[in-house]
Amino acid sequence: MAGASLGYSSLTNANLSNVDLTNRLLGQDNLTGVVVSGATLTGVTWNASTCPDGTSSSSYLPQTCIGHGI
């Protein structure tokens, strides 16, 4: 996924296992039901994304989906 722009994407139920998302902006993406086992999430910026558990990353400080289905 090198260079992929993921802003405003619907990734509902996608399998992102072992995907490298290093330093990606996940802005207003729908990640409901996404599987990310083994994915690299170093430096991800979460911006009002829907987490895999259905909550919003903007509900947490700092914004994150880590611990909310990821």
Give pLDDT tens digits for 31-58: 999 999 999 999 888 999 999 999 999 9
In the prediction, which pLDDT does 29 show?
A: 93
- Asked whether residue 6 carries a pLDDT value surpassing 80, the answer given is no
How much is the pTM? 0.85
| Higher-scoring residue by pLDDT: 58, 6 | 58
What does residue 66 show for φ and ψ, rounded to 5 degrees?
-65, 125
In the prediction, which pLDDT does 2 show?
A: 60
3: which residues sit within 8 A by CB, 6+ positions away? Answer: none
* 7-31 tens-digit pLDDT: 788 999 999 999 998 888 889 999 9
